Amino acid sequence: MNSHAIEVTGLSKRFGEVEAVRAASFRAEPGRVTGFLGPNGAGKSTTLAMVLGLSRPDAGTARIGGAAYRDLDDPTGTVGAVLDSTGAHPSMTGRGHLRAYAELGGHARRRVDDVALTTGITEYLDRRIRGYSTGMRRRLALATALLGEPSVLVLDEPSNGLDPAGIVWLREFLRAFAGRGGTVLLSSHVLTELQHSIDDLVLIDRGRVAWSGPLDEFTGAASSLESAFLAHTMEVHP
Ligand SMILES: Nc1ncnc2c1ncn2[C@@H]1O[C@H](COP(=O)(O)OP(=O)(O)OP(=O)(O)O)[C@@H](O)[C@H]1O
Ligand SMILES: [Mg+2]
C-alpha cells in the first residue's frame, strides 16, 4: 500500500461571524488510526471538507501525500471519504450505486462485489437504497469509499447509525487497514467510542486544535481519558 500522510497547516474557515476553524494544524500518519475528537460544532466536518477539497479554506493548507486533494492524480484511488452528507440516490440499488461510482473513478467493476463483501452488504446489493437502514447506508458509503483501494481514509462520524456489532466490525476493519500501512482520519464527538479505536488523537474545540499526539500520552498522568479530556478542555475555556 502506498503511504500518504495527511498534513493540515494553519487551516482556517469563517462562516460570517462564526470562526468555524481557527489556524488548525495537525498530521495523520500512515500506519496509524487518528481520531479527530470534539464536541458538536467544534469544526470537525468543516475541517474534513477542506481536507477533501470540498470547501475552500480562508487560510492554510491541507495536503495528502504532499499534494492538495484537487491536485491528486488519482483522487478516489488515493483517498476514500465518508462524510455525514454522503448521499446515494434512493431509487438506485446498492449495486447500481457502486457500479456508477466505480465507473466514475475508473475502477474495475469486480470491485463492486469485493467492497460489498468487505462491508457486509452483499445480500442487500440488489435492493433499492430507499429501503436501507441507517447502518446499511453507512456501510454502503464506506463500500463506495473503498472502490479505488485507497491508502487513505477520511471518515466523518463513521460510527453514527451503526449497531454495537457494526462498531466493533468498523474498529477491526480500520485497525487492519492501518496495519497494512494505510492512513485513517476519523471524527467523533464521543470520547469513549474512540478510546479503543485510535492510536493518535487530535482534540478540536471551538475551531482550535486543543491537543494532538499519541493517545497514551494524552491520558498521561490523568486517571482516565475522561479526566484528561476535561483538563484539556478547561485549558481552552478557563
Ligand atoms: N455552511 C455553513 N454555514 C454557516 N455556518 C456553518 C456552515 N458549516 C458549518 N458552520 C458552523 O461552523 C461551526 C463548525 O461546524 P462543523 O459542522 O464543522 O462542526 P462539527 O465539529 O462537525 O460538529 P458535529 O459534531 O455537530 O458534527 C458550527 O458553528 C457550524 O454552525
Ligand atoms: Mg460534523
pLDDT digits (tens, 9 = 90+) for 155-213: 999 988 888 888 998 999 999 999 999 999 999 988 888 888 999 999 999 999 999 99
6-236: CATH number: 3.40.50.300
What pLDDT is recorded for position 223?
65
Q: Which ligand lies nearest to the CA atom of residue 189 in the structure?
A: 1
Closest CA to 149 of 177, 168, 123: 177
Closest CA to 136 of 169, 103, 111: 169
Ligand 1 centroid from CA 4, angstroms: 27
**For the whole prediction, is pTM greater than 0.85?**
yes
**Complete edge-to-edge strand list for the sheet that includes strand 183-188:** 79-82, 152-155, 183-188, 33-37, 200-205, 208-214
Is the distance from the beta carbon of residue 41 to the nearest atom of ligand 1 less than 6 Å?
yes
What pLDDT is recorded for position 221?
60
Q: Which ligand lies nearest to the CA atom of residue 21 in the structure?
A: 1
Q: Are 155 and 115 in contact (CB under 8 A)?
A: no
**Domain positions in the chain:** 6-236
Residue nearest to atom 24 of ligand 1 (CA): 40
Is the distance from the beta carbon of residue 223 to the nearest atom of ligand 1 less than 6 Å?
no
Instruction: Report CA torsion sign: 56, 57, 62, 67.
Output: positive
Ligand 2 centroid from CA 75, angstroms: 22
The three grid cell numbers given for residue 195, joined into one nine-digit string: 478510546
Residue nearest to atom 7 of ligand 1 (CA): 15
Is pLDDT above 70 for 141?
Answer: yes
